[in-house]
Amino acid sequence: MATTAMPVGSSTAPHEYENSGLWSWLTTVDHKRIGVLYLYTSLFFFIWGGMEAVIIRAQLQGPNGQLVSAEMYNQLFTMHGTTMVFLAIMPLSAAFFNFLIPLQIGARDVAFPRLNAFSYWVYLFGGIFITVPILFQLAPNGGWFGYTPLTTRAYSPGINIDFWVIGLQILGVSSLAAAFNFITTIINLRAPGMTLMRMPMFTWMSFVVQFLVILAFPVITIALVFLLFDRFFGTNFYTVAQGADPLLWQHLFWIFGHPEVYILILPAFGLVSEVLPTFSRKPLFGYPVMVYSGILIGVLGFGVWAHHMFSVGMGPIADSFFALSTLLIGIPTGVKIFNWIATMAQGSLRFTTAMLFAVGLVALFTIGGISGVMHASPPADLQQTDTYFVVAHFHYVLFGGSIMGIFAGIYHYFPKMFGRLMNERLGKWHFWLNFIAMNLTFFPMHFSGMLGMPRRIYTYDGGQGWDTFNFISSMGAYMLVVSTSIFVFNFFRSKKRGEVAGSNPWEAGTLEWSIPSPAPEYNFAVLPTVSSRYPLWEGNEHDAESARINAQEGKTPAQLNIVLPYSTIKPLIVAGSMVLMFCGLLTTIAVTMIFAAIMVVALYSWLLSPLEPEHH
Amino acid sequence: MSAPAAHHYTSTGLDSRKIAIWAFIGSECMLFVSLISTYLIYKGKSLVGPYPHEAYTSPTGQTFPPILDIPVTSASTFVLLMSSLAMVLALAAVQNKEVPKHTTGDRILGSSKLWLWMTALLGTTFLGFQAYEFTAFVNEGLTIRTNLFGSSFFTLTGFHGAHVTAGVIWLVSLLAIDYRRGLGPNDALNVDLAALYWHFVDVVWIVIFTLVYLIQ
């Protein structure tokens, strides 16, 4: 193995960003800093959504809980789901898209740096827009899926659902803008020699996810437009009394909603596909098959949506079709599980915290996958639907899968982001407590669900066999608070005082580990060349030479004659005025007009100003 | 419209904006697929009239003729199709700005301002037809609230009209640049992006015209 000489754990302190004041963060167009902004914001929302879950679990800890009212409970479970899906897991993935994709493919930045900043600010402002109402007990209360006719004006007259409808539209803008950006980046900004079939698996899975975003989000956009028009202008899209199809919303929502499931999980799959080979000291087993199975999951993901709707009575032909397509999608997913296991087989394993979380994903996602196959069968699903069994299932795939994978990614890439290692001892405490607590919380839900406990009830009577299971679930949830607190403590402590990492602390093989930690603002001093999937493990002399140059610290862009984009506040202004323009829908049309005007002016100013200084 | 960054290395050799606009158009396809599917699902499901292709007599004895005016919409469709031709000529004019012009015909064909104006005007004419159509329908008793047909028809064609409006604004912005400093071959990509978007919106209209107006 031709490993290039990388300084591991060098003694000098990592360099700081030269310009790190607040203004520099508001105006940054650097994909790495935007990635860090995404990371902080989404971790905040992850904790926020977690606290909502803790209140839910406290309410359900014993029979006839009185902690919150039924109305507040509805707002809590709606916002818990909405927050975790749109404000925590998706943007946690986006933090890695931003930070990693350009580094993994050998690019200086994303294709459209200012659009990237715009995506982040829209996400932040949209997140605030949809989150703040719960402080006034005005939060959305129709579930994260917002089924009509419950969410139409007739049955939800308050402002609550308006926040949800408009908030999701805003967040959709952010996801779509980011997806166009990353698709272009991956297609067009790969370093010489970085062919598609040499791309790191995280970049590959991100690539698939961006296509899911651009094809699935327009569908929810339209579904939400119909709902918005119904609520504001009195149209009839969801008015059954006018002949509307009562299932229209469900179909449109799940045509978006099921690809959304893969939007949430595939980035985590990508992250563990980076972690497992590194700590097994082996290339990923069956790389091409991993690529194809990822693509296949993405394609099939558009053909399974109605398995969320078996109980509505679509008839045997539709039920059979969606049962079969759902069983089919288990195959490429299973292929991934086996390939990860084969990657570890006979490797020289190092159980760092990142590795533990990655192995945790393989184990826990498998449990969630198997319960998923169980309700692929319509007769079984009819027993399980709307019970805690389903809650157990999707928390195993989203917490056991996505969140575990994202934690693996955070421990793995923390040194590249901040130049220091996270504390391994605290990391292992975090992992084991998290692993035990996660199972303690969600495994009993399989039983309470099978015993008939419905989802979304704010309280229940004792003596139905659910009491013990609910008690255990709640204890697990409190334990998750402890484990997450350890993580937060570790994160901030390590950022200040962690061991200095050096460019390649894990002796990994992909391009992002060839450059100093934290990555310099221009990423690569010279554009790297690539002749294999793991350039730092098995690259030729040319690759090694570019990696050697890129590993050098302390060069300024001017010394290297690298042109960087200007910092600019304009994307923030456009994003802010766009969100305020949407706020106008809830207040007066004048607000909408004023901020629309500001947005247009700022947008033209952005489009007519150059991205970067002229190249000499 | 930012300064072209042609000196940057790209894997495909294409400018990144060209790839992004194709991704955007792909996404827009799903937007219109959702709108058109909903229209088709709700076709014939309205409980009260007016209907698109059939006459309707209300319980109070009021009669409504079929509401869609196919000859007028055929004219507006023709106008929009011609705007795509003008768009092609505008792009060609920008690309060939530095080719010497000898005859009057060369100068007319080579005028990017003329053809951008033409495209924008034809687009605006299409929007005028749509405004006329919407007003006429409202006067004949069909609003966005009347029935499922009204809701899905106005939303679908309104979304398309909004896209045409955005296209006209884009074209006028290009014209402003053309008057300020002249569009040259270096700007061809910017015009090309607008043209791709314009043709896409045009193609969507052909689908809408066929499915909504022509097929009964």
Across A168-199, b (16+ Cβ under 10 Å) vs e yields bbbbbbbbbbbbbbbbbbbbbbbbebbeeebb
- Which of A185, A243, A609 is closest, CB to CB, to B46? A243
- The model's confidence at residue A11, banded by pLDDT at 50, 70 and 90, is very low
Whole-angstrom Cα distance, residue B32 to residue B25? Answer: 10
Q: Which one from A33, A57, A251, A258 is the annotated catalytic residue? A: A258
pLDDT in tens, B92-124: 999 998 888 888 888 888 899 999 999 999 999
Cα–chain-centroid distance for residue A105?
A: 20
* pLDDT given at position A428: 97
Rounded Cα gap, residues A488 and A430, in angstroms: 10
How high is the pLDDT of residue B5? 43
Neighbours of A341 (CB within 10 A): 14
Q: What is the pLDDT of residue A5?
A: 40
| Domain locations in chain B as residue ranges | 16-54+62-214
pLDDT at A569 over 50: yes
- Dig out the tokens for A291 from the structure: 């690529």
The chain-wide mean pLDDT, for chain A, equals 93
Alpha-carbon distance of B171 to B87, in angstroms, equals 9
Token pair belonging to A162: 């308006």
A455 vs A147: CA distance, rounded Å = 15
Q: From residue A441, give the alpha-carbon distance in Å to each of A357, A434, A458, A481.
A: 18, 10, 18, 12
Record: fold of B16-54+62-214: Four Helix Bundle (Hemerythrin (Met), subunit A) (1.20.120)
Angle between the A404-418 and A31-60 helix axes, to the nearest 10 degrees?
140
User: Where is average pLDDT lowest: A219-223, A413-417, A557-561?
Assistant: A557-561
Q: At residue A18, does pLDDT exceed 70?
A: no
pLDDT on residue B33? 97
Question: What is the mean pLDDT of the segment spanning B67-93?
Answer: 96
Residue carrying structure tokens 């060839």: A514
CA A438 to chain centre: 19
Which of A242, A609, A610 lies nearest to residue B47, judging by beta carbons? A242
**Cα angle A154, A158, A161; round to 5:** 90
Which residue in the block uniquely carries the two structure tokens 């925590």?
Answer: A88
Average pLDDT over residues B132-149: 94
Instruction: Tell me the chain A residues in contact with residue B14 when contact means C-beta distances shorter than 8 Å.
Output: 188
Give domain limits for chain A.
87-95+121-240+248-273+283-315, 348-501
Which is nearest to A231 in space by CA: A320, A324, A159? A159
Per-residue pLDDT tens for A163-214?
999 999 999 999 999 999 999 999 999 999 999 999 999 999 999 999 999 9
Give me the mean pLDDT over the B129-155 stretch: 95
Chain A contact for B30 (CB, 8 A cutoff) = yes
Mean pLDDT of B162-188: 95
pLDDT at A10: 41
Q: What is the pLDDT of residue B216?
A: 84
**Assigned token pair, A98:** 């931003």
The reported pLDDT for the residue numbered A431 is 98
Rounded to two decimals, what is the model's pTM? 0.94
Quote the CA–CA distance of A56 and A407 in Å, as a whole number.
24
The better pLDDT of the pair A587, B192 is held by B192
Query: Using a CB-CB distance cutoff of 8 angstroms, which residues of chain A are in contact with residue B30?
Result: 214-216, 218-219
DSSP state of A198: G
**Nearest CB to A215: which of B27, B145, B148?**
B27
The reported pLDDT for the residue numbered B155 is 97
What is the spatial distance between Cα A344 and Cα A354, in angstroms, rounded to a whole number? 14
A231 is an active site residue: no
**Residue B5 to residue A187, Cβ atoms within 8 A:** no
Separation between Cα atoms, residue A63 and residue A471, nearest integer Å: 9
Please report, for residues A152, A161, A252, A412, the alpha-carbon distance to residue A98 in angstroms, rounded to integers and kept in the order given: 37, 31, 29, 16
Cα separation, A378 vs A29, in Å, equals 49
Question: With 50 as the cut, is the pLDDT of residue A501 above it?
Answer: yes
Residue the block writes with tokens 């014209």: B175
How far from chain centre, in Å, is Cα B101?
Answer: 32
Residue A615: predicted pLDDT: 64
CA A307, A313, A317, A319: dihedral to nearest 10 degrees? 20
Average pLDDT of chain B, as a whole number = 92
Residue A157 banded pLDDT, cuts 50, 70, 90? very high
HSE-CB of A222 using CA atoms within 13 angstroms? 32
pLDDT tens string A363-403: 999 999 999 999 999 999 999 999 999 999 999 999 999 99
Cα distance between residue A122 and residue B161, in whole Å: 26
- Per the annotation, the verdict on A308 as an active-site residue is yes
Contact B45 A229 (CB under 8 A): no
Query: How far, in Å, CA of A114 to CA of A569, rounded?
Result: 9
Q: Which residue of B lies nearest to A615 if distances are taken between CA atoms?
A: B7
The pLDDT tens digits of the residues spanning A357-367 come to 999 999 999 99
Backbone φ and ψ of B55, nearest 5°: -75, 160
| Predicted local distance difference test score (pLDDT) of residue B60 | 86
Dihedral sign computed on CA atoms, order B118, B124, B128, B130? positive
Catalytic residue list contains A144: yes
Per annotation, catalytic residue among A30, A52, A109, A319:
A109
**Measured between alpha carbons, how far is A485 from A52 in angstroms, rounded to an integer?**
15
Query: Is there a catalytic annotation at residue A531?
Result: no
B28 touches chain A (CB under 8 A): yes
Q: pLDDT, tens digit, for every residue of A256-302?
A: 999 999 999 999 999 999 999 999 999 999 999 999 999 999 999 99
Residue bearing the bigger pLDDT, B1 or A529? A529
Q: Is the pLDDT of residue A15 over 90?
A: no
ipTM of the complex: 0.94
Annotation says A260 is catalytic: yes
What pLDDT shows up at residue B1? 37
**pLDDT above 80 (res A104):** yes
- List chain A residues with CB under 8 Å of B147: 236, 242-243
Which pLDDT band holds residue A61 (cuts at 50, 70, 90)?
very high
Determine whether the interchain pair B147/A608 forms a contact, defined as Cβ–Cβ distance below 8 Å: no
* Cα B208-B211-B214 angle, rounded to 5 deg: 105
Query: What tokens does A213 get?
Result: 């975003």
Instruction: Calculate how close chain A gets to B105, using CA atoms only, in Å.
Output: 33
User: A residues 297-316 near B, CB within 8 Å?
Assistant: none
